[in-house]
Chains A and B, each alone.
Chain A
């Protein structure tokens, strides 16, 4: 039985889809079977970031409505074996999502894949709620910037209140990815340090991604940055992917703080 991760942020434009694509490739490179599901109905982009935009024929709504089989709709990644995409519908909006159908879809995907990673839409509306509803754990992506952090806190509050696990009084695990860190600004005191962000949000750190110009180039060409072994951001995504597979990868940056309990928590998801 696979693990379901929802990748959320609250605020848009912080790197949620980029993170989803990179972690998908990274985890698949660890030999796991991974499916990425784009929940951003009407604003499909994960296909573009993965370089698969020309291969989308059926999307998740077709599968939920039994207009296409899962096998027909899954798009195999060019970048990693074992990695598949289930695209968002581009024509229908989030109102087509029905809780029962979402639940059924996720249950089927959990049977087939080790990791089911859901890319949430920005905001905290119904599309977001459907994404977090059946997640075992959430990965919150923030930028070291006030509006992103505040919106993330709001999104975390909804996960704690509304997800199915929370309703069963089980803890939904939450891991933080801090994206677009500018190390020199942090050391000058002009950008929030990760310790401060963790302190404010009081959740566990999963990883830190430095700001990297290569991200734009990677999006331009549909080849996520994790494929570039010389890129700092790519290496950071690789390390996070290994952590998500239960490997104890130390946090290389001295400034960063992580509680050792995070690996225990990730491992507990496998049980």
Chain B
């Protein structure tokens, strides 16, 4: 909420837009997977299949400060 909105009964829509955009964009940015993710996943599956019966791999992503940690989970049927 901006300073001026304290004096207005109705908050101006530009201020509302800014606040909403900030949240939406920051959420978009953190949810965006790496653009190479799909291709990398396909490559990993190819390699994994060469050695195992696994049909799929899951890639998880955790962000902590300046680093992202990618986890690769391979489920192998017994």
A binding-site residues for B, Cβ under 8 Å? 146, 149-150, 153-154, 157-158, 161-162, 186, 188-193, 196, 200
Contact = CB atoms under 8 A, between A and B. Distances in A.
> By CB atoms of chain A within 10 A, which of B14, B22, B24, B28 has the most?
B14
Contacts of A189: 4, 12-15
A157 B27 CA distance: 13
Interface string B11-31: 011110110111011001100
A146 B58 CA distance: 33
Interface residues of B, number: 18
Interface string B40-68: 00000000000000000000000000000
Given A161-B34, A161-B35, A192-B18, A150 B13 contact: no
B69 interface: no
A190 B32 contact: no
A157 B15 CA distance: 24
A188 B12 contact: yes
A145 B51 CA distance: 51
A contact face: mostly helix, strand, loop, or mixed: helix
Contacts of B20: 146
Given A154-B28, A188-B12, A162 B18 contact: no
A151 to B, nearest CB: 10
A238 to B, nearest CB: 28
Contact of B28 (A150, A190, A191, A192): A150
A200 B20 CA distance: 11
Nearest to B5: A189
A190 B21 CA distance: 15
Contacts of A154: 28, 32
Contacts of A188: 12
Contact of A150 (B15, B25, B32): B25
